[in-house]
Structure 1
């Protein structure tokens, strides 16, 4: 049995939007045998653009039942059924969220008619419900209303089942339609296994659609099975071949499975998943190299669905100098104004650099005046409220004050100035090198296991150069604080 469902909602975010209409068509594998639809009071105003799209107004739902009043009906109608919808993750995510708010875990096997249509009707110019129905001659009355869309999806599903049966009949004419329908029934939860093994193969496309319901419509199980269970960087591509997302993992196969297994919480995230048409990858061997290369590729490609680490220019930074009295000054400024020295840490702009420095002053009890945050010929403000120990007036010895400056610097820089991190390569006979010189990341590379070098310059010559920035500095610092198995070679 199949429950073909369509919802109308106040928006595209299951976490915050609500259902305004639900329609359920029960299909037994041969025909629709039951139907239910109702408007729902979402308990909040319906946005104007949603009303324009669906025609559902606040007045129409004012006296409609709320979801908790129909929840039992939904559970009973869909019990033992496969949950079928066009872009099933959207409707399924909304229902799961509504039930979760009631303290109930709603769980059903799912089948997406987008994926099934792509499998059984390849080459269509579009697989959106409206255009697909138009192209194959399915009437769609009441577009963007739950009953209209669910009814059209039911007709589409019925045709897809018949295509599957006809294809199998051509391949195996000895199998009767009755056996085929019995195999279809067996796919539903609780269904009995067919008596003849050949019958179970008659609906392989449907079985595959259920089994792979979590995958993006354009991604085949074979593509997922081919993913390596190794460390590296992976790329999601759209139909045009453009990279729309870059990720990394110590096990690419498992990470991508996790991507596809989650319930998506917004229309944008569902669109993201549905737009994935290909997956490529590049192995790195080392987890640290995967982290660094992912950051580089996000900055280079700026994929549509990567939010973090897109910035590639860091024009401001934190610097360090020592005055004539021996006091160390942390200060912020433009990187271009200090071309003779590299910043201790590069930041997106001077506002963020100033805020960063204020945080360090507060945490390590530094002097605002010696950090160029308080312009005055006398003491800083913190000294007046007894938070500064008087370095601004020369009352605190430079040696004592400088110790806290060094602690502050250590909190956002590397423990050692120049070092090499040697990790696992892409093969057993290969190693990775990540090189940092005088606190500045230079890049990474691969060498044979037999590679032996004593001079720092030998390691530098073995790598490919990459840009240093705040993101990679943070990646390396955090990685070195974990229980990694890499070897760190320190140079004075």
Structure 2
């Protein structure tokens, strides 16, 4: 559990500042579950430059509560949480100073979104909150007011959690919060999980990840693990003390994250060297008559393919549909072995490419349409899919035929802005498994929105 904090102060000499406004959002890693926002009477003068910056003046604070009146609420909402702030050293120092004046020792674990941003989003032009969130396309209101800045930091932290593919933040937080770990009884863990699409991570007591999975319904899938009788299920039941998750909204993003993070984190209960998800692929070649032929064959990483399949049968089924859809020849698609014309020609559903009656130029145009539709080789595009919330969408980026990664964006923002697009994307490896996942998903989900770049 985290508490995202932003504090406005009077300014002045070091350790003599007073709080003029404080905003705290309690965040469980997915949504805000509690909040506290208040002006505070600092009982001292406010520096003129601070008044100009924040708009908070002494007249506004005359009837505001003094710090000792809000201290109990601050202790309660931040108890057993990790305090997160943009430049956490400053906000934490101010809080400790105010509590010290009351004779109370205030101690919390902290995370700084400036340091996290420099690590997870390198080479940004500026890491000041205003410029950083603007570069990332994060909407911000009431800049230089505690509530507005804290809410912007919540959205920034959510993006950083998503970019942290090695799960360093989550694993460290579990180590730092042993009191907050779920009860050993598996039913208590299940109760804390959502019925959402996403990726889930099973942890041991020291925070290490022992298993990663994905599901359209995280709660149901984890329940299956906890009630299963397979050797793997029994190991999970014996070792797991906590399950964290990342909602993705999009099943495609969940599939890509699961594949990538198993390779990165190498959980002991996932197969260390996971076999490729596909065994066969669709290939093309041009015969001696100039016609483009299609064939389903065993997947070979040394040969360029159009798309891949889990089995030969699924590939053949796809090709049969494509022959019908693009009016192709069964013989030239490897579906009808004959030395003469194919069956479709006999029933007048083939233009006669199998016996050179149709010209290669005309026939190849239709084959090329199929290739262009189901292969993203050399393409620049964004696959747009569901987001985690109603006003959000996911974006899967392909550049020059190479999968670059994914990100989430608010519907109020244009994602074809190259700078914003590059900053929101979580980089991922472009390997054969990821290519297969994307191509397979595009075949099965014909209503996907594709934006050509």
How high is the TM-score relative to the length of structure 2?
A: 0.42
How high is the TM-score relative to the length of structure 1?
A: 0.39
Report which of the two structures shows the higher radius of gyration computed on alpha carbons. Answer: 1
